[in-house]
Chains A and B, each alone.
Chain A
Amino acid sequence: MTTSGGLLRATRGIAARALLGIGTVWALATLVFLSLRLLPGDPAALVLGDLATEEERAALRRSLHLDEPLAAQYARYLWGIARLDLGASLRHPSQGAFSLTLDAFWPTASFALAAVSIGAVAGVAAGGLSTSRLLGGGRRLVHGVTLALAATPLLGLAPVATYALAVRARALPLPGDPDAGVAGALFASVLLALPLGAQVARATRAALRELGRAQFLTVAKAKGASDARVLLVHALPAVSGPILTVVGTQLGALLGGAIVLERLFERPGLGTVMIQAYAARDLPVLEAGIVASGALFVMTQALFATLHAAVDPRARRA
């Protein structure tokens, strides 16, 4: 294969991935648009409640452009997403829906990225330890803990862990504590990382065991490499592909978990913005929130697909 052919292929791959990403965000955006307008029930009544007069509803419909034909509304909506401007928030009319949402974007993005990093590193470490001879009998314990964590739902585990560590042991700040700072953020990220870490550990263990007696590992051992060196330098790079695939498939669940944990810890973020907008029927903010979280999902997914392609040539064709 010539260099220019490889470059062309890489460019094509990136273009295909970008298209798929835009398609995902577009599908989510269209879904919110259609369910707001086509499902039975008047959005204006949804916002203003049952007691509003017909004039008030008509005025709101006009200001949200709900009185225009559906195609015109859709065009205006897509154009608004492209310009990051879906109008003002209904609850805070001085602020744009997208600027409210973008303020919440980075807290959630850094939360999710911290959890992905912690989960990937801890999961690979646990998977590696559960197959290597470094720990002796301890590797069974590591494997057992991994299996238990993989079977425990985050939704049940997170509140109980918070109660045990923050309320009983007082080792950590309480949820919603404004002075929670780094310890609180780290605790939340570790909790969010647990299910991902458990899945990564299982995948690492399965891949390492399959690799088991591969010749290049025997050669490395024969050359006098230590167990740790064989694991870190020779075995782990060879199994990075399946591990990154697992991380990629867990990203959607991770984002859902982030929304739940933001609610639990009263942290600012996309989840909090969307739940508040839901409670207040703030339609422009809801639309912006869904689009922004879709974009966050697509970006994290692209990041991991790129990493995957960088370490595993077989993934470049996808």
Chain B
Amino acid sequence: MRRSLGLAPIAALATLAGLWVAFAGGSPTRLFLERGWAPPGPGLPLGAGEGGVDLAAAVAHGTVRALVLAVTVSALGFVVGAPLGALAGLRGGAFASAVARACDLVQSFPTFLLTLAILTTIHSPSRLHLVVVFSVAAWAPFARMAHAEAKVLGGAAFVDAARALGAGTPRLVLRHVLPNLLGPVAVQAGSSAAAVVLGEAALGFLGLGPRDGVSLGAILEQGVVGMLRAPHVLVVGALSVGLVSGALQLASESLQRDP
């Protein structure tokens, strides 16, 4: 019960943004100069931003794209990190310590600098660039978690039994260890996704975001520019960044509390 309650906010946000993008029909980039910085009113539920951009459309598109990016990066992190960590946990030895060292290195790295270092050299980043940049560090927490879990599972009777029946390492990892990892990994996926949403918004805010400028961070940046004229833009930007990342974090924590 509690689990589904924790997942409700992010499900509601994703559905709302998805439906808005599919059916409301406003453009997140089209400018109407005559209604620049217009406050919320009929036809403009969240008001307009710089150059008259429809903020409701910008928030909906920005949310959908941030969530797609976050899910992609978390999924990639899981697909790369979890088998690597599980293998390290089963094998042990030099391979395991190499994986652990690599995790240490990546996790102690200033990730935001890493992102800047790669993105600053690209003329205008595409969505694919953003996926790559965030995935560079995303695998490490998954690998660390799978490593710890697989070390414990390695001695479990059912793994021994599978081994005695002649299962090879790939089969052990895929059929016996990974399914047991899904619980703890779901928790990690939630907080990874929240971090990606915030990272993408920070890049958008700094002007290093995607080239079409559709990002929750870009709305926030408009809000800062127009702080004196149109505070509603700032509120809309800050709330949408906070709600999306907060809802993901909440989902992650509600998964953690349940056994």
Contact = CB atoms under 8 A, between A and B. Distances in A.
Q: Does A associate with B in a complex?
A: yes
B221 to A, nearest CB: 8
A253 B137 CA distance: 14
A203 interface: no
Contact of B220 (A39, A159, A253): A159
Contacts of B207: 275, 278-279
A46 B202 CA distance: 23
Contacts of A159: 220, 223-224, 227, 234, 237-238
A153 B117 contact: no
A301 B109 CA distance: 11
B245 interface: yes
B254 to A, nearest CB: 13
A263 B205 contact: yes
Contacts of B198: 153, 155
A255 B108 CA distance: 13
Contacts of B123: 41, 46
A8 interface: no
B252 to A, nearest CB: 11
Interface residues of B, number: 38
Interface in B148-203: 198, 201-202
A256 B237 contact: no
A252 B109 contact: yes
Nearest to B111: A252
Interface stretch (A30-38, A81-89, A99-107, A213-221): A30-38
Interface string A155-174: 11101101100010000000
Contacts of A44: none
B57 interface: no
A132 B31 CA distance: 56
Contacts of B239: 156
A301 B105 CA distance: 13
Contacts of B245: 153
Interface in A13-36: 24, 27-28, 31-32, 35-36
Interface stretch (A113-121, A184-192, A286-294): A286-294
Interface in A132-181: 151-153, 155-157, 159-160, 162-163, 167, 175
Nearest to A29: B117
A8 B214 CA distance: 56
A256 B202 contact: yes
B117 A290 contact: yes
Given A28-B117, A255-B113, A260 B238 contact: no
A297 B238 CA distance: 28
Nearest to B241: A156
A66 interface: no
Given A28-B113, A155-B205, A160-B235, A264 B121 contact: no
Contacts of A129: none
Contacts of B24: none
A39 B117 CA distance: 13
A193 interface: no
Contact of A28 (B114, B121, B206): B114
B110 A252 contact: yes
A32 B220 CA distance: 28
A252 B120 contact: no
B118 interface: yes
Contact of A32 (B117, B242, B246): B117
Interface in A241-298: 249, 251-253, 255-256, 259-260, 263-264, 271, 274-275, 277-279, 286, 290, 293-294, 297
30 contacts: A24-B109, A27-B109, A28-B117, A35-B121, A36-B121, A39-B121, A39-B122, A46-B121, A46-B123, A152-B246, A153-B201, A153-B242, A153-B246, A155-B201, A156-B239, A156-B242, A159-B227, A159-B238, A160-B234, A160-B238, A167-B227, A252-B111, A253-B112, A260-B202, A260-B206, A274-B116, A275-B207, A278-B120, A278-B207, A297-B113
Interface of A: 24, 27-28, 31-32, 35-36, 39, 41, 43, 46, 151-153, 155-157, 159-160, 162-163, 167, 175, 249, 251-253, 255-256, 259-260, 263-264, 271, 274-275, 277-279, 286, 290, 293-294, 297, 301
Given A156-B242, A159-B227, A286-B121, 8 more contacts: A32-B118, A35-B118, A155-B198, A156-B220, A252-B112, A256-B111, A259-B206, A293-B110
Among all A-B residue pairs, the 9 with the closest Cβ atoms: A256-B112, A156-B238, A252-B110, A156-B242, A35-B121, A36-B121, A156-B241, A297-B110, A32-B117
